[in-house]
Amino acid sequence: MTRISARYLGKRIVVSYITLLVIMTLLFALLRSMPGTFISSMITPEMQPEQIQRMREVWGLNEPLWKQYVNFMVNYQTGEFGMSPTNRVPVWDIMIRRLPRTLILFGAAFIVAYIVGPLVGMYLGWLRGSRKDKSIFASSLVMYSMPAFWLAWLFIWLFNYELGWLESTYMYHQFPQFEWTVVSTITNVLHHITLPLISLAFVNWVGVMLVMRPSMNNVTEEDYVFLAQAKGLSERTVMIKHAARNALIPVATQAIVGLAFLIDGSIIIEQVFSWPGIGQLIVNAVISKDYPVAQASFFILAVLVVVMRLLTDVVYTYLDPRIKFGEG
């Protein structure tokens, strides 16, 4: 596995880093263009002008703009996200608590969507035009066209309200005499994560399938698939090893777009299911005008996208040997 060169990887990392610098700059600009300053929410009508002035100083708002910018950029790169004006705790502490929860939900949904999507797309593309293909394809399109929150409510109504199988709020439940063993913790979390997870994955696997199916369809026409058949390989081997393996290449490209959708969806889903992650935090922070928290949350999501993008890039180069490594 020496196909990917250090030079190529280094280049991709530099590009990712520059992307993040640009995003930070945009966030900085965005914050300055908000109505009021980010301390507006802390100012009460009874405050004296001197008090306000002191607050401005503490928060660094009296520095010249360029200095504020430099400070901001330096601070952000060292994980110094400032204080939350509403919670009066460092933003970093909030992030560090919330991020893993989002990663669990997001990561699980990503894995489910990118396993189910390619698998279903592979079968439908292989059976192209058959009745099975048509009916499964049509029903997944119907699901795809539903808004994520609507689907989430449908699941809540069915599995929580009607059947009572699964929880629809929070990440876990704190019973008075709950024993936190490994197994009990996992079942506890599973009870809570399943609904938001399938709601999130459901909307997204179809997007993956929509790329895989036609890709698979094209690939089955390829001469190398014919040759694989001529070699006497079983239908399974031809379908998976020769056809699907090639059909996956465009899916890796789609993943970059799919990621953005997934993050988008996770903000809504966290809200609907009261999942205490970054997505929920963003909504709360915006409502309470807690700009430092909102800013840091956006930044964390941006880092997530950039890192995943880097990963898909690496995966892509492994999937397609025709890409020249170290020259990209």
Cβ at position 249, least distance to another protein in Å: 8
Angstrom distance (rounded) from CA 136 to CA 124: 8
In SS3 terms, 214-270 reads as HHHHHHCCCHHHHHHHHCCCCHHHHHHHHHHHHHHHHHHHHHHHHHHHHHHHHHHHH
Instruction: Rule CB under 8 A: say whether 327 interacts with another protein.
Output: no
Q: Which stretch binds another protein (CB under 8 A): 23-31, 186-194, 208-216, 230-238?
A: 230-238
Tell me how far, at minimum, the Cβ of 73 lies from another protein, in Å.
42
Count CB-CB contacts under 10 A for residue 94: 21
How many residues sit in the footprint of another protein (CB under 8 A)? 19
Tell which positions 232-271 bind another protein, by CB under 8 A: 232-234, 242, 245-246
Shortest Cβ 223–another protein spacing (Å): 4
With binding defined as CB under 8 A, does residue 131 bind another protein? no
Q: How far is the CB of 202 from another protein (least distance, A)?
A: 30
Q: Please, which residue, 176 or 321, has the CB nearer to another protein?
A: 321
CB-based burial of residue 312 (10 Å sphere; 0-12 exposed, 13-18 middle, 19+ buried)?
A: buried
165 belongs to the binding site for another protein (CB under 8 A)? no
Of 238 and 281, which CB lies nearer to another protein in the complex structure?
A: 238
134 near another protein (CB under 8 A):
no
Between 20 and 315, name the residue whose CB sits nearer to another protein.
Answer: 315
CA distance 35 to 40: 9
Q: Output Rg (C-alpha) for the chain, integer angstroms.
A: 24
- Kindly indicate which of the ranges 6-14, 32-40, 160-168, 319-327 contains the residues binding another protein, using the contact rule CB under 8 A: 319-327
Single out the residue of 49, 64, 176, 321 in contact with another protein (rule: CB under 8 A): 321
Question: How many Å apart are CA 263 and CA 258, to the nearest integer?
Answer: 9
Instruction: Please state the closest distance from residue 311 (CB atom) to another protein, in A.
Output: 19
Of 63, 133, 264, 320, which one interacts with another protein (CB under 8 A)? Answer: 320
What the block records as the tokens of 237 is 């081997």
Helix axes 131-144, 182-219, angle to 10 degrees: 120
Residue type, 195: L
Other CB atoms within 10 A of residue 56 CB: 15
The residues, ordered by sequence, that sit 6+ positions from 199 with a Cβ below 8 Å of its Cβ are 148, 151, 152, 155, 269, 272, 273
Does the protein bind another protein through residue 319 (CB under 8 A)?
A: yes
Shortest reach from residue 2's CB to another protein, in Å: 12
* Per-residue binder mask for another protein (CB under 8 A), 198-227, x = binder: ------------------------xxx-xx
Binding site for another protein (CB under 8 A): 222-224, 226-234, 242, 245-246, 319-322
